[in-house]
Amino acid sequence: MTSSNAFRCGTVAIVGRPNVGKSTLLNHILGLKLSITSRKAQTTRHRLLGIHTTEDTQFLFVDTPGFQQKHINALNRNLNRTVTQVLSEVDVVLFVIEPMHLGDADRKVLQLLPKNQPVFLVVNKADLMGDKGNLLPLIQDFDLEFPFTGIIPVSAKKNLYLDELLAAVREHLPEQPAIYGEDELTDRNERFLAAEMLREKIFRLLGDEVPYSVAVEIEKFEQEGNLRRIHAAIIVDKDSQKPMLIGKGGEKLKRISTEARQDMEKLFGGKIWLETWVKVKSGWADDERALKSLGY
Ligand SMILES: Nc1nc2c(ncn2[C@@H]2O[C@H](COP(=O)(O)OP(=O)(O)OP(=O)(O)O)[C@@H](O)[C@H]2O)c(=O)[nH]1
């Protein structure tokens, strides 16, 4: 076996301002809906490791939170610390941009990028560029601002050029055997995934009404044979936000729970008993200690 054919395994971070398509990219590479996507900015708050194993490579993806500038509070200070920490530890960084809306928000993320390791400029949403040749000079200007290892246009949503992206990343991963089993998708436990699935439904079903400070806390997670009993609290900042989540006659909460339960049953491959309720913890987004207790 020549050295270029040797098995490679390493970590990859996906960064970029909110809404450029980081979660979609990860999901499409993994071929599974593990991470949260939403039209609404800033839905990914946790680090999430997704694992993609091919014949000669194991990619360990770390999905980092978006870089949030609008809502500066303790929560967002934690987010920026997470971004910086993740980037100093990985083998390859994918910096995702959306060429139609390139600007200051992207430059803020640019400042967090490490200069001593491979960083690819991933130009996402290529499907929307059409014959907009005028975007190319913009991208070239951006390229001058940082010593990128390469520029790769992709469409995460349409699965365009993802193989090319992975091949380029592979070249920069260390030669070493796989760390995880081939069928392992994530090292996050089911408890974490259950909370993420509930959060996704809240974001989807509440649209623009959803409070930024909503969180999900799994209070109980028990398994009996093929049945999982999950008790989840949806945590909001203010009393006034409670009715938004509960809806008329509890209709909203019921729909959130039903849809989340159906997704969990598919992913975990078993029956789910899910109980949810809404809890008020005032000022939790500003309280670092409360954040820690919720696992941020
Ligand atoms: N047309 C098009 N839309 C895309 C593409 N990739 C992502 N999107 C859309 O862009 C929006 C944002 O995608 P996400 O994957 O949630 O973005 P994100 O960067 O993870 O966002 P945060 O979690 O807020 O940081 C969604 O509506 C996606 O469907 C693409 O290649 N083409």
pLDDT tens digits, one per residue of 183-200: 555 545 677 778 888 988
Q: Is the CB of 66 within 6 Å of ligand 1?
A: yes
Q: Is the CB of 199 within 6 Å of ligand 1?
A: no
Q: Please report, as a single letter, which amino acid is at residue 264.
A: M
Query: For residue 67, what are the CA distances in angstroms to 44, 146, 149, 223, 274?
Result: 10, 18, 22, 36, 32
Domain 3-170 classification at class level: alpha beta
CATH number for the domain formed by residue range(s) 190-293: 3.30.300.20
Structure tokens at 296: 């941020």
Hey, how many other C-beta atoms are within 10 angstroms of the C-beta on 137? 9
pTM value?
Answer: 0.64
Asked whether residue 34 carries a pLDDT value surpassing 50, the answer given is no
Q: Is the CB of 37 within 6 Å of ligand 1?
A: yes
Query: For residue 30, what are the CA distances in angstroms to 222, 257, 262?
Result: 27, 25, 20
Given this chain, do its domains 3-170 and 190-293 carry the same CATH topology?
Answer: no
Q: Is the CB of 39 within 6 Å of ligand 1?
A: yes
Output the average pLDDT for the chain. 79
**Strand ranges inside 85-214, DSSP E:** 92-97, 119-123, 150-153
Give the residue extent of every domain in the chain.
Answer: 3-170, 190-293
Angle at which helices 251-268 and 190-206 cross, to 10°? 140
Greater confidence (29 vs 286) lies with: 29
The annotation status of 63 as a binding-site residue, yes or no, is yes
Phi, psi for residue 226 in degrees, rounded to 5: -100, 10
Among 17, 24, 165, name the best residue to mutate to test ligand 1's pocket (greatest count of ligand atoms within 8 A of Cβ): 24
Q: Is the CB of 41 within 6 Å of ligand 1?
A: yes
Asked whether residue 82 carries a pLDDT value surpassing 70, the answer given is no
Ligand 1 atom having least distance to the Cα of 18: 25
Q: Which of 60, 37, 66 is nearest to 263 (CA)?
A: 37
Would the ipTM clear 0.85, i.e. be above it? Answer: yes
d(CA 68, CA 16): 10
Ligand 1 atom having least distance to the Cα of 124: 31
